[in-house]
Amino acid sequence: MTLKYSIFFKYLTILGFVAGSAMTSVTFGSSEQAWNKHDQEIKVACIKASQLKNAKTVSNVMLFDDRVGYSALMIQGKYPQAHMFSY
d(CA 43, CA 13): 47
Query: Which pLDDT score, from 0 to 100, does residue 87 have?
Result: 58
Q: What is the pLDDT of residue 75?
A: 92
- In the predicted model, what is the mean pLDDT of residues 11-17? 64
Q: Give the N- to C-terminal CA distance of the chain in Å, as an integer.
A: 88
CA–centroid distance for 44 within its chain = 16
The pLDDT value given to residue 37? 93
pLDDT value at position 12?
A: 57
- pLDDT tens digits, 39-80: 999 899 989 998 888 999 999 988 888 888 888 889 999 887
Instruction: Convert the pLDDT of each residue in 16-47 to its tens digit.
Output: 666 665 555 445 567 889 889 989 998 999 89
